[in-house]
């Protein structure tokens, strides 16, 4: 990912937190010299340095993915920034956004216990602590049957890139002008970018 120095996020805790809150990512790999991608939910293991997920078994992407370096892209909020918000027309429009790229290698999980355990953790993350739904003994037979239709895997994180493009290359006056405009938008992403920009001032 092209990251000018103004926009480079090097704080690993910030990148981890972003992934945990924007954990539906896109897994890219190569298959027969052609790029392929799958949109998947991920679970981050900070301590171990892994991402966990699974895909449908009929999805051929898993068949030759082991061993190659893959990329997972986690997109975040984004918004158009109009040059009309600046004090001069000697400027151009742009787009503010945040994103994280994760590189690593895939390990297919073959052990049934490991697969079920990863599903338990994934369900717990997305259901939330207050939910009554769980993967447990009450639905064990169903879950074990369904696992035959998926391929569970983990990705060992080799490196991470974070890009927080929040008008840091502009003057504080321009940044405040952009924030003011974005805060007036009805778009949730625009408001989130405004919030991030205000925190970054």
- Residue 43 included in any domain: yes
Contact 193, 97 (CB under 8 A): yes
Q: What is the CATH number of the domain that holds 34?
A: 2.30.110.10
What is the SS3 assignment for 5?
helix
Report percent pLDDT > 70 for the chain: 100
150/121 Cα distance (integer angstroms): 16
Tens of pLDDT along 8-28?
999 999 999 999 999 999 999
The predicted structure's pLDDT at residue 121: 87
Task: Please say if the pLDDT value at position 54 is more than 90.
Answer: yes
Look over the chain and give the mean of its residue pLDDT values, rounded to a whole number: 92
- Residue 199 included in any domain: no
The predicted structure's pLDDT at residue 91: 82
- Residue 90 included in any domain: yes
Q: How confident is the model at residue 87 (pLDDT cuts 50, 70, 90)?
A: confident
Q: How confident is the model at residue 123 (pLDDT cuts 50, 70, 90)?
A: confident
Task: Please say if the pLDDT value at position 116 is more than 80.
Answer: yes
Task: Please say if the pLDDT value at position 138 is more than 80.
Answer: no
What average pLDDT score do residues 188-192 get? 97
163/175 Cα distance (integer angstroms): 17
What is the SS3 assignment for 157?
strand
51/58 Cα distance (integer angstroms): 21
- Residue 201 included in any domain: no
Q: How confident is the model at residue 122 (pLDDT cuts 50, 70, 90)?
A: confident
Q: Cβ of 130: how many Cβ atoms within 10 Å?
A: 5
193/199 Cα distance (integer angstroms): 10
- Residue 104 included in any domain: yes
pTM over cut 0.95: no
The predicted structure's pLDDT at residue 23: 96
Residue 200 CA: distances (Å) to CA of 39, 160, 175, 176: 30, 21, 10, 11
Domain holding 185, by residue range, is: 5-194
- Residue 180 included in any domain: yes
How many structural domains does the chain have? 1
- Residue 89 included in any domain: yes
Task: Please say if the pLDDT value at position 90 is more than 90.
Answer: no
The predicted structure's pLDDT at residue 157: 97
The predicted structure's pLDDT at residue 165: 98
Q: Is 172 or 115 the better-scoring residue by pLDDT?
A: 172
């Amino acid at each position: 990912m092209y990251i000018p120095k103004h926009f480079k996020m090097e704080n690993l805790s910030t990148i981890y937190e972003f992934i945990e809150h924007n954990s539906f990512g896109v897994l890219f790999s190569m298959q027969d010299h052609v790029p392929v991608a799958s949109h998947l939910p991920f679970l981050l293991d900070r301590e171990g340095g892994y991402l966990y997920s699974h895909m449908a078994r009929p999805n051929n992407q898993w068949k030759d993915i082991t061993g190659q370096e893959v990329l997972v892209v986690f997109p975040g909020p984004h918004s158009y920034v109009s040059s009309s918000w600046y004090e001069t027309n000697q400027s151009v429009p742009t787009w503010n956004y945040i994103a994280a790229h994760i590189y690593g290698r895939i390990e297919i999980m073959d052990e049934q216990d490991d697969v079920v355990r990863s599903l338990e953790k994934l369900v717990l993350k997305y259901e939330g602590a207050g939910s009554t739904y769980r993967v447990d003994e009450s639905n064990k037979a169903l879950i074990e049957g369904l696992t035959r239709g998926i391929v569970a895997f983990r990705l060992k994180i080799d490196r991470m890139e974070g890009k927080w493009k929040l008008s840091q290359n502009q003057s504080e006056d321009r940044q405040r002008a952009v924030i003011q405009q974005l805060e007036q938008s009805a778009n949730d992403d625009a408001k989130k970018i405004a919030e991030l920009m205000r925190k970054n001032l």
